Structure 1
């Protein structure tokens, strides 16, 4: 049966539904590891320090990514004053732009129905919605890449439009200073050139002015890179030189050709990512292989988009380092192809059964997992041991899973009864059921789930325990204290209620250990500096120092019997070491850096 979803009102309703899905839950949770606390911390330091040119993490340069994504979070942090909201807004807005452009481009190339279905397919693709609701960099760079693709398709296949052509290069440049791979739309020139010159339809679209496109892209990159080059090459700032070396070489060419982590086989995307995270367009195209061939015949725009998707997947497959989110920029193009195929054909009974089977299976698995955690003690004990969790957290997780599974299964019951009464068409009913199911599996985790699990996903409890223990350990003549941390992750600096010193994120462990020991041992005596109070010179109160150490760190040059356990978070037990635990001497090198997480200073 055909999908009866071809009016403009349906498209508007679907877009506002997408807005609700993406924006619901903003402010309900904090930044969750592994990536969110890093970007949130960098953005927070930008606002606090006023230094936006170079990303800083706890006073130390963060050399792994260009700054645009952190700029966006910092901008919204300035406006809203809430880091919880600000960290999620850039991707939420970017994803809606991607969704809207997918609709608009499909509308110009095909029909209202194809445009609406393309938007529906993209929204039902797991990878798109997941990235829209998390503070990772990929949804934003995917948006910039998709704007570039939109501009090129507009110019070469809709009508000659040099503004859109140069806008495409502008956003490529913006994508490059967001995450390096902003140049991916350049691959689109391969199918565009092939179809243009084999069909003889290149007149007016190709001219020497095209050469100004790369200059536009480089100009955008230069707006950020030129000040860095001035500071690094002219002013000879060693920190800037180190940052440039890392961001221009190690994090680009070296990371692509000789990756040092996330090593996966060449077929990783084809076998492990695309079938799961792109399941919606893939299921449609596999079930409609014949219709796909018919839809692409003499349709050079859609053929170019599909070839570009393949080229993007090949590009990332060549690199030994792979993550599923890398191929996200190609998903809107594939959704457009799937939307066109679906608009030109019928929804087969097999596709309906497959969609219902997948959603039923996921809901059933969630329900069974919740029941197992709640009532099957061996499973609960095994998980608590593996993840160093507690029974309260496991109960909270089981409640979320039970609600998700039960509510998801209810959508099948409700729409089965609805179909029986109204005798609605399979296609229309399937779309409504999938959207209802998606609403449940999005809203509940974003609100209720985030509220229940937030404490488990942040180190606040351990840091509060540290603050309480420090208060009990302070001597009568000292009310001031300083805390250092080794082997840290960004969330410990982000959520710390007190000033935190660290010894460099990439400092070798031996040097970090020796430097931390020196920092802890050298400040047990009061400062010699004096200040005037009521005309008399008095010494300021002694600042006692404490060190946070993971239990598996094997910290040397200290009496670990004096350590106090603060609890377990993120599978690490944390210990609190007082200054009295530091050994009198230590043979480890102590020449590492010391960074202050509050004021951004370093020694």
Structure 2
């Protein structure tokens, strides 16, 4: 693709320096943002404050949606850094860098240094990869463990026998299970491997008389799972309480097999993942018209280096296609191997004039979209932008945000016009850098207060005074996370009227000191809105604080019928 005066080692160091800048940009400039980040950070904060790192809590309730490994890693990094704004993002950052390193090393071992570098660079360019690696969700971490599992298995299957790599891969798959549950999918790599052995494909490792070593892989897999499962089961049995048994049943059955077989949210059509690959995996998907014929030729030539990763990608997409519930991040574990396969072809593909024209057109279109959209938003002629400013309560910050959009568009268009077809890939790199660095250093500070709810919680603290006690009703995780004092909650999944009824009894014990922070939609018929104080707008919701005299005498929130025709539990 190009001749570099740098040595391979220097190229590698330069690449990871660039990757670190892109992925770490903006750390410390924002708090956890919904939907998932505040939840995980809140669980991690409880771990640090309570010392209980095994059974997660969301406020006063047990949290059984996910195993605790990711939240425990956030808590661990807080104990090292003492800064939540840094600690909550560190697991994703390290997972992202780790995936880049694994893809590079796998490409280097299966092909050569140049392929490894191209594959890692391709992964760093993918929108979904960078977006997720800069967010504090579980998906980058579980994706890292699945990639590590694939790395170990492929080294054994294609470059082995390498039993240590095999055992590492099985152990990593187990860590993936106790991170989110889907780590076991890495073991689907056995299917194309067994097919290649059956069909006697060249380049596949063959081992004879090693049944014990193969079984040690299962031991490693189960050992990783037992690191959490064993202590969790012991803790549940030791507590001997209904809520702990309900936690065990939910996390072991309902949130895994039950959620897959009977998806209760994120319903999407069967072709959903086609559009995810087409758009979320941009700009890599632009190369598919040139890559697919080369993969076909490699399969005809019985190249197992292509068969195993490609078949695994197909299996992952098919696995998540069957249930009704689908999210773009579900197939993210396939992205690193997709980048690996693309990296093996990238040097040849990049020489194709039509590929460069397509890339240049993409950069120009992206630049035009940002520039025109930013100008319309800045001038107030874009209805969606006006709604965003109003919903987020950005005020004058909206103009600053649209300035970022305009700047990205201008940079992309200038890069396209200046570098043209011959250096279209460089224009692409400049455009992507503008997006990620601009959003990190420019957009984060503008959006943080309204998106994180930190401003509304500061305002609530100022309204009630430093000596008051605070109770939360119909709250979101970011409210409890950013409260300026220890706050009382009355459950999270509990119905809002029941929360309000319990909050009223709690407040009545010390009516002069205790205030309630309540979502406006949860007032129902028992709260007199005229006696509440508006605390602010955050996350497209209106929040109020009030004392005990705001409750209408003789009205029980748990049994009173809402008089506004609305659903008090709608979130």
Greater mean alpha carbon deviation, residues 135-144 or residues 231-240: 231-240
Cross-structure match for 1:20: 21
Counterparts of 2:397 and 2:379, CA distance in 1: 14
2:520 matched to 1:516? no
2:283 matched to 1:280? yes
Question: How large is the Cα RMSD of the aligned pairs?
Answer: 2.2
- Deviations, residues 353-389 of structure 1 (Å, cap 9, x unaligned): 1111112212221122221122135637842586253
| Structure 1 residues 60-79: aligned runs within 5 Å | 60-79=61-80
- Kept in 2, the 8 Å contact 1:7–1:112? The answer is no
Cross-structure match for 2:106: 105
Seen in structure 2, the aligned counterparts of structure 1 residues 553 and 382 have a Cα distance that, compared at 3 Å, is: same
- Kept in 1, the 8 Å contact 2:270–2:322? The answer is yes
- Kept in 2, the 8 Å contact 1:264–1:321? The answer is yes
- Kept in 1, the 8 Å contact 2:359–2:425? The answer is no
| Structure 1 residues 462-477: aligned runs within 5 Å | 462-471=456-465
Query: 1:553 aligned to 522, 525, 534, which one?
Result: 522
Greater mean alpha carbon deviation, residues 433-442 or residues 341-350: 341-350
| Structure 1 residues 211-226: aligned runs within 5 Å | 211-226=215-230
Which TM-score applies when normalising by structure 1?
0.87
Which TM-score applies when normalising by structure 2?
0.92
Cross-structure match for 2:437: 443
Counterparts of 1:47 and 1:66, CA distance in 2: 16
Seen in structure 2, the aligned counterparts of structure 1 residues 255 and 316 have a Cα distance that, compared at 3 Å, is: same
2:369 matched to 1:365? yes
Greater Rg over alpha carbons, structure: 1
Cross-structure match for 2:326: 322
Counterparts of 2:438 and 2:266, CA distance in 1: 31
Cross-structure match for 2:542: 573
1:12, CA displacement in angstroms? 3.4
Residues matched between the structures, number: 553
1:145, CA displacement in angstroms? 0.4
Cross-structure match for 2:475: 488
Query: 1:501 aligned to 471, 488, 493, which one?
Result: 488
Query: 1:303 aligned to 291, 294, 307, which one?
Result: 307
1:560, CA displacement in angstroms? 2.4
| Structure 1 residues 329-344: aligned runs within 5 Å | 329-344=333-348
5+ residue gaps, structure 2: 560-571
Counterparts of 2:311 and 2:468, CA distance in 1: 61
| Structure 1 residues 253-264: aligned runs within 5 Å | 253-264=257-268
Match of 1:565, SS state, is strand
Counterparts of 2:125 and 2:352, CA distance in 1: 18
Match of 2:178, SS state, is helix
- Deviations, residues 22-49 of structure 1 (Å, cap 9, x unaligned): 1222111111111111111111121111
Counterparts of 1:196 and 1:202, CA distance in 2: 8
1:206, CA displacement in angstroms? 7.2
- Deviations, residues 273-310 of structure 1 (Å, cap 9, x unaligned): 11011123322232343322233422112211000000
Greater mean alpha carbon deviation, residues 5-14 or residues 217-226: 5-14
Cross-structure match for 1:186: 187
1:161, CA displacement in angstroms? 0.9
1:129, CA displacement in angstroms? 0.8
Counterparts of 1:492 and 1:394, CA distance in 2: 23
| Structure 1 residues 44-59: aligned runs within 5 Å | 44-59=45-60
Cross-structure match for 2:551: 582
Cross-structure match for 2:532: 563
Cross-structure match for 1:351: 355
| Structure 1 residues 134-173: aligned runs within 5 Å | 134-173=135-174
- Kept in 2, the 8 Å contact 1:513–1:555? The answer is no
- Kept in 2, the 8 Å contact 1:548–1:576? The answer is yes
- Kept in 2, the 8 Å contact 1:42–1:56? The answer is yes
2:240 matched to 1:236? yes
- Deviations, residues 112-171 of structure 1 (Å, cap 9, x unaligned): 222221112111111111111110110111000011101011111112111111111111
Match of 1:431, SS state, is helix
- Kept in 1, the 8 Å contact 2:47–2:75? The answer is yes
Counterparts of 2:144 and 2:183, CA distance in 1: 10
Greater mean alpha carbon deviation, residues 144-153 or residues 370-379: 370-379
Greater mean alpha carbon deviation, residues 457-466 or residues 91-100: 457-466
- Deviations, residues 153-211 of structure 1 (Å, cap 9, x unaligned): 11111121111111111111111110000111111111000001210756316731212
5+ residue gaps, structure 1: 420-425, 472-478, 525-542, 591-603
Greater mean alpha carbon deviation, residues 295-304 or residues 186-195: 295-304
1:557, CA displacement in angstroms? 2.3
Counterparts of 1:385 and 1:449, CA distance in 2: 13
